[in-house]
Structure 1
Amino acid sequence: MGARRPHGRRARPRARHVLLHGPRHRHGALPIPEHRCRRARGGRRHGGGGGRPRSRRAAHLPEPLAPFGEARSAGRRAHALRRRRGLRAQLGGARRLRGHGGRQGRRRAHHRRAALPARRARGVHAARPGRLGARQLPREGRHGRGGARAHDGRRRPQGRGRLHLVGIRGRGGGARGRAFGRRAEDGGARGVKRGTSGLSLVVGVNKPAGMSSHDVVNRCRRIFDERRVGHTGTLDPMATGVLPICVGPATRLDAYLVGHDKRYRVRIALGAATTTDDAEGEVVRTGDVPERVLDPSFAASFAEGLAGARKQLPPAYSAIKVNGKKACDEARRGTIIDLAPRDIVVHEARLLAVHEAGDGCELPSWDVEFHVSKGTYIRALARDAGVALGCPAHVAALERTQLGLLRLEECVTLETLAEAKDRAALDPVRLLGTRFVFADEGLAQTVRNGGALPGSTALFERRRSTMEAELCACTAGVRESCEGPRADEVVAVIAENKLVALYAYDEGRAAYRARCVFQTGVSRGRDL
């Protein structure tokens, strides 16, 4: 005998397959018990007979489709699906979802249909069946921008891309519209692309006077059509000279390209002090220049005495942040921030020329060449030199001639960079000044995965000579290093003539650990 049925509980009939929600279900058929099929077609839950349908859509549902395994043609199934889509359009987007039928569902559908004329007057489209496709791009919203809207009329989040989309009925900026749009030919894509250019390189720019370092970065973004661009050493707007620019994934090198020594040529004007300690500020104090200051021998001796380690108070107009606020921004608002003195080193100070007033200069001046450490302000050196000489002084002109291993002769102007583009790329390995490892195919795969390298890996280095000697055909520019790795030493990894990673030596584990891995290798450019 079979198992007895519990008392008071009826046996439910076997399930049949009914297509309930049209195209929203991929497989088309849902197993629904027979006692619920009547409810879907408008009948009551219990018992036979008809009864009042729970919604208009439920009343117009076609007969349940047979399972796909039965002999029912694809044409009839497609016809039933089209009927359901037509019903959605007639109801103005009012969909009967499970649990949202009855009186409230009819009331929502009524309000949606009543609101259609007002929505059309505002430029909002009526709900369309199905998902947005290639021929159903959103129209312009009532504000004239690409306002893509959902099927029920609600606005989707505005697309943040700068691509103007051209569609069947107009332009749109929604997330779906971008997939079918294209860039407008009338220059509608203002600024730079939001995407990437695939470039990864380092270039040297000879910054012109009158542009800030950020202005140069924006110009390079337009030149390379790349948004990921940064510089590794700020220059004042009036200053000119070496400014390293990193493009694409190479911007991750900025932490390793800063902190190097710098060389400057500066003209120190004597007899006047300004608010910014340079020629761009307002003159706040003047004074007589002692006669001995114009003596070349005295000037040369005094300039040599500026070399050495010392404490330096940064200028009030500087980019140093205190509590999240830049000192220069606060100074322009009339608030002077007290900055702490810094430890600096002047490695070399050499007098180049002495100019009297009227000799092409409004004020007596010195031309001095400085070799300084990171964080040294040349404006502060000129200010302090004037205090020591007994007369006010400021920077009249400033040019950076070298930053680390990048020299002014290797830099290009912005006009030349616009023509050469990636052909102006420099070798980042030489700019880093580190030893390097050549990775074969097997080792390169380990590097791409960020794996550790054995401590016995061979290290190579450049010969300590000039760049002209390295490029000479009779001289080998690279040799194997005779010294072993040092603790925490950073080395570059080269694969397929590209910089692919930076590793640091872990002395405790006798292995190299990944510091920075470039999935897009940094180009070594023409300087190989």
Structure 2
Amino acid sequence: MMEGIIPVNKPRGMTSHDVVFKLRKIFKTKKIGHTGTLDPEVDGVLPICVGKATRVADYVMNSGKTYIAEVTLGVQTTTEDAHGEVVQKVPVLKDAFNEAIIDEVLLQLTGVIDQTPPMYSAVKVNGRKLYEYARNGETIERPSRKVEIYEIRRLSDVTFVDEVCKFKIEVSCGKGTYIRTLATQIADALGTIGHMSDLTRIASGGFKVEESYTLETLQNTEYEALAELLLPIEHGLQHLPRVEVDENIAQKILWGQKLKQMSPKIEEETAMFYNDKVLAIYMPDEKHPGLIKARKVFN
């Protein structure tokens, strides 16, 4: 069975599950999973795990992502993006904001910030997804959560047309960030309303959009040649600290044994390697400070 990770350039109009469904036929296996949902109207990088590589899907999902988004000020929608119903319009006159003011707001929203998930999202509250409430016309209290924005930078000039202001931004962020909610936060900080009018994910899990394969390319690739396109599971763990161990320790790791703390001290989930092959992910043992324990073993 094939195994590995492959970055796919998801087209607009398809769900992430649609992509997985097609790839199961292409790779002739049911053991395929994606690493973070992209909305149907969003295109861009979607890392896919095949075979045993599905065991590192969560780690790929937890690594950083980068998006290019268009922010539209002066129009508010139900979904915080261009595909929802317009609920409010406020005229944004030309030169209402200069680029320096917008850049300062972007800087203020960099770092750890609070976000409230939009009603049209897959976040679960009381066992139901928020979009299920929204589709029934229900609005419920949503818990805020902290997300991390590593960097935001403006990519385009600020334009004013028909009492609407638009500009593009590039956002590098951590897991769980809603870019459409970030767009509304930018608007709020500028004293107006807004939404995210366009979005493309240009990087995820260490993969870039220019390195990604289209479904058409994969469909037209001979089955035997597909294996050459898959990257090893180690590629999905690049963002984790790494420790190379000797043969004796490697055997203990493959047995899933607890180990003595190492030097330098392991303080977070760490990939344990032997001969450049990942064996397991270890983490501190909370109950026994002098030990580390296996979080996941790859054998």
TM range (shorter): 0.7 to 0.9
1:403-458: CA deviations, max 9, x gaps?
A: 34333333222223332522222243343223043665x765554433455666xx
Q: Distance in 1 between matches of 2:182 and 2:197?
A: 13
**Structure 2 counterpart of 1:235, which letter?**
L
- Whether the aligned pair in 2 keeps the contact of 1:353 and 1:368 (CA below 8 Å) is yes
Among residues 45, 56, 71, which one is paired with 1:268 in the alignment? 71
Which of 1 and 2 has greater Rg? 1
Change (3 A) 1:238 1:293: farther
- Whether the aligned pair in 1 keeps the contact of 2:20 and 2:32 (CA below 8 Å) is yes
Q: Distance in 1 between matches of 2:268 and 2:147?
A: 24
Match of residue 270 from structure 2? 490
- Whether the aligned pair in 1 keeps the contact of 2:74 and 2:89 (CA below 8 Å) is yes
Among residues 389, 408, 421, which one is paired with 2:226 in the alignment? 421
Q: Distance in 1 between matches of 2:148 and 2:282?
A: 29
SS of residue in 1 equivalent to 2:298? strand
Q: Distance in 1 between matches of 2:96 and 2:192?
A: 10
Match of residue 310 from structure 1? 113
Q: Which runs of 5+ in 2 are unaligned?
A: none
Match runs of 1:237-252 below 5 Å: 237-252=40-55
Change (3 A) 1:487 1:273: closer
- Whether the aligned pair in 1 keeps the contact of 2:105 and 2:189 (CA below 8 Å) is no
Q: Distance in 2 between matches of 1:512 and 1:344?
A: 28
1:52-104: CA deviations, max 9, x gaps?
A: xxxxxxxxxxxxxxxxxxxxxxxxxxxxxxxxxxxxxxxxxxxxxxxxxxxxx
Q: Distance in 1 between matches of 2:84 and 2:180?
A: 12
Shift of 1:262: 2.3
Match runs of 1:380-459 below 5 Å: 380-418=181-219, 419=221, 421-432=226-237, 433=239, 434-437=241-244, 440=247, 446-452=252-258
SS of residue in 2 equivalent to 1:221? helix
Change (3 A) 1:417 1:284: same
Shift of 1:227: 0.9
Equivalent pairs, count: 292
Q: Distance in 1 between matches of 2:96 and 2:6?
A: 41
Change (3 A) 1:443 1:417: farther
Match runs of 1:102-121 below 5 Å: none
Q: Distance in 2 between matches of 1:289 and 1:515?
A: 52
Match runs of 1:18-33 below 5 Å: none
1:370-389: CA deviations, max 9, x gaps?
A: 22232221111111222333
- Whether the aligned pair in 1 keeps the contact of 2:102 and 2:190 (CA below 8 Å) is no
The structure, 1 or 2, with the larger RCO (C-alpha pairs under 8 Å, 6+ apart) is: 2
Shift of 1:398: 0.7
Shift of 1:294: 5.8
Match of residue 228 from structure 1? 31
- Whether the aligned pair in 1 keeps the contact of 2:75 and 2:90 (CA below 8 Å) is yes
User: Is residue 2:270 matched to residue 1:516?
Assistant: no
Change (3 A) 1:430 1:268: same
Match of residue 502 from structure 1? 281
Shift of 1:288: 0.4
Cα RMSD, aligned residues only? 2.9
Among residues 3, 6, 9, which one is paired with 1:206 in the alignment? 9
SS of residue in 2 equivalent to 1:310? strand
Q: Distance in 2 between matches of 1:439 and 1:219?
A: 42
Match of residue 170 from structure 2? 369
Q: Distance in 1 between matches of 2:182 and 2:297?
A: 39
SS of residue in 1 equivalent to 2:188? helix
SS of residue in 1 equivalent to 2:5? strand
Change (3 A) 1:503 1:388: closer
**Structure 2 counterpart of 1:426, which letter?**
L
Match of residue 319 from structure 1? 122
Shift of 1:214: 1.4
Higher strand share: 2
Shift of 1:280: 1.3
Q: Distance in 1 between matches of 2:136 and 2:285?
A: 49
Change (3 A) 1:489 1:364: closer
Change (3 A) 1:397 1:488: closer
- Whether the aligned pair in 2 keeps the contact of 1:494 and 1:501 (CA below 8 Å) is no
Match of residue 338 from structure 1? 141
* Residue identity (%): 38
**Structure 2 counterpart of 1:354, which letter?**
D
Q: Distance in 1 between matches of 2:107 and 2:282?
A: 40
Q: Distance in 2 between matches of 1:450 and 1:346?
A: 36
SS of residue in 1 equivalent to 2:156? strand
- Whether the aligned pair in 2 keeps the contact of 1:288 and 1:391 (CA below 8 Å) is no
Using structure 1 for the length normalisation, give the TM-score. 0.50
Match runs of 1:61-100 below 5 Å: none
- Whether the aligned pair in 1 keeps the contact of 2:99 and 2:158 (CA below 8 Å) is no
Shift of 1:363: 4.9
Shift of 1:513: 3.3
